[in-house]
Amino acid sequence: MFYQKVIKPILFRCDPETIHHAAMAMLQNRFFASVASLGCSIQDPRLKRTLWGIDFPNPIGLAAGFDKNGLALPIWEKFGFGHAEIGTVTLHGQEGNPRPRIFRIPEAEAIINRMGFPNEGADRIAQRLEGYKNSGMWPRIPVGINIGKSKVTSLEESPNDYLGSFQRLERYADYVAINVSSPNTPGLRSLQTRESLSRILDPIQNANSRRVPILVKIAPDLSWEEIEVILETMEQFQCAGIIATNTTLDKSAVPLKEEGGVSGSPVREKSTRIIRSISQKTIGRLPIIGVGGIQHFEDVQEKLQAGASLVQIYTGFIYQGPQVVRRVLNRLV
Ligand SMILES: Cc1cc2nc3c(=O)[nH]c(=O)nc-3n(C[C@H](O)[C@H](O)[C@H](O)COP(=O)(O)O)c2cc1C
């Protein structure tokens, strides 16, 4: 209630990206992070999940895009998250699109963003992750690393770009997510076809000597025929799981028509429908991370019942506040 009544109205008066950067800067301060996350985490053996031989203390993770550079990686477990996915990381550091590029739509509990993968690049982020390992700051929760294509790299050259990021970062990852579904890098979503996806997955799996689980993150705007092709391609290249879904280009449920992808409540149903169809098609054999529109316990339950093994939150964390994970976990227990 304190977040909803006092903190959120203040935060929502400021530019979303300015607030995001300020919050990320403060979360790097251990004292502030500890205070901000006080009472957010709960431990209960009934919440544990094991996937790909990895133990997740609970099924709720932080979705990609919130901590693109891994700046606050050591603290996400304090907010109760059972895993954190950093990125999207690209091989070359880049600025992303011009600001403003994040827009809140409070009446729909939604966001439109057209960030375009601003991040420090694979080398710099690998250095940061190495620093956490060496200084004992590495989190106890599993870490996913989400990789995407650099803007300067052509679609034709994209397999090498993904491979470069994979080679620099795989040693820090419990799983690697191949992002071919963000709407804000021109042409990226066209990499979801059989041929393009094969050209990306083949060299990555050839280089994957540690057998790190490879997941593919898909868009919610694909036809079922397109999803079936992705599932076949993923099976051919022994992918470990799928992340469904990224933001949608469908703006019919929101009053704002800014360019970019919609996240939050308007994407919930679409994402759940896709999760259910994938789960039925693969008879539960392909683990699914369900993401899109989770704000409350019921939304998590819906995704788990549709067949997701784990879920992730982004927009719900902003609208419901840092206590959202604990609230949901309490109800799950
Ligand atoms: C501001 C913003 C930035 C995002 N950046 C990324 C990103 O870099 N990579 C990615 O795979 N997904 C990104 N996403 C998508 C989220 O990870 C998630 O798939 C989507 O927002 C749906 O979940 P939600 O409704 O809980 O937000 C971003 C979402 C938002 C709102």
**Rounded-to-integer distance, Cα 195 and Cα 63, Å:** 27
Neighbours of 201 (CB within 10 A): 23
Q: Are 308 and 289 in contact (CB under 8 A)?
A: yes
Which CATH code is given to the segment(s) 2-332? 3.20.20.70
Q: Are 213 and 288 in contact (CB under 8 A)?
A: no
Q: Is residue 306 classed as helix, strand or coil in its secondary structure?
A: helix
**Rounded-to-integer distance, Cα 6 and Cα 132, Å:** 34
Q: Where in the sequence numbering do the catalytic residues fall?
A: 182
Domain map (residue ranges) of the chain? 2-332
Name all residues whose Cβ lies below 6 A of ligand 1.
Answer: 63-65, 68, 88, 102, 111, 113, 115, 117, 146, 179, 182, 217, 246-247, 263-264, 267, 291-294, 313-316
pLDDT tens, N- to C-terminus, the chain (333 residues): 789 999 999 999 999 999 999 999 999 998 999 988 988 889 999 999 999 999 999 999 999 999 999 999 999 999 999 999 999 999 999 999 999 999 999 999 999 999 999 999 999 999 999 999 999 999 999 999 999 999 999 999 999 999 999 999 999 999 999 999 999 999 999 999 999 999 999 999 999 999 999 999 999 999 999 999 999 999 999 999 999 999 999 999 999 999 999 999 999 999 999 999 999 999 989 999 999 999 999 999 999 999 999 999 999 999 999 999 999 999 999
Residue whose CB lies within 8 A of the most ligand 1 atoms, among 247, 319, 320, for a mutation test: 247
Which one-letter DSSP state was computed for residue 292? S
Q: Are 102 and 16 in contact (CB under 8 A)?
A: yes
